[in-house]
Structure 1
Amino acid sequence: MAFTPTDPIKMIFAVLLPPLGVFFEVGIKFPFWLNILLTMLGFIPGVIHAFYVIFKH
């Protein structure tokens, strides 16, 4: 898990629009669709999941 120069940008997007931060990290895969669902159910779970995906990959 190396910290890349684009990670701060992804984190900003993860706070403003969580699915966009996940999209920049993994593209249109399962975590992206899961994040859309979590964001629709509640904004905070979407943000938490976005940070998890960004730090995991």
Structure 2
Amino acid sequence: MDNKIVLILLAIFLPPVAVALKSGAGKSLVINIILCFLFYIPAVIHALLVVL
């Protein structure tokens, strides 16, 4: 439970870190990094989808 709360907070403030902790270095992390460079809000949404 506490781990999920930490991941949600990381997904809001540092989306690539949350995705890396949840799914490791893979396709989701690359997608999230690209989204983070282009637009911040879609990166947050993607990170929340991966975490939840």
Same fold (TM over 0.5): yes
The separation in 2 between residues aligned to 1:12 and 1:23, in whole angstroms, is 14
Partner letter of residue 6 of structure 2? I
Task: Using the TM superposition, give the Cα deviation of residue 6 of structure 1 relative to its aligned residue in structure 2, in angstroms.
Answer: 1.0
Pick 1 or 2: higher relative contact order, CA cutoff 8 A, min separation 6. Answer: 2
How many residue pairs are counted as aligned between the two chains? 52
Partner letter of residue 48 of structure 1? I
The separation in 2 between residues aligned to 1:42 and 1:11, in whole angstroms, is 19
User: Percent identity, aligned pairs only?
Assistant: 33
| TM-score in terms of structure 2 length | 0.92
| TM-score in terms of structure 1 length | 0.85
Ranges in structure 1 where 5+ consecutive residues have no aligned partner: none
- 1:23 paired with 2:26, answer no
Q: Residue 37 of structure 1 aligns with which residue?
A: 34
Ranges in structure 2 where 5+ consecutive residues have no aligned partner: none
Residue in structure 1 matching 2:6, options 3, 9, 23? 9
What is the root-mean-square deviation of aligned Cα atoms in Å? 0.9
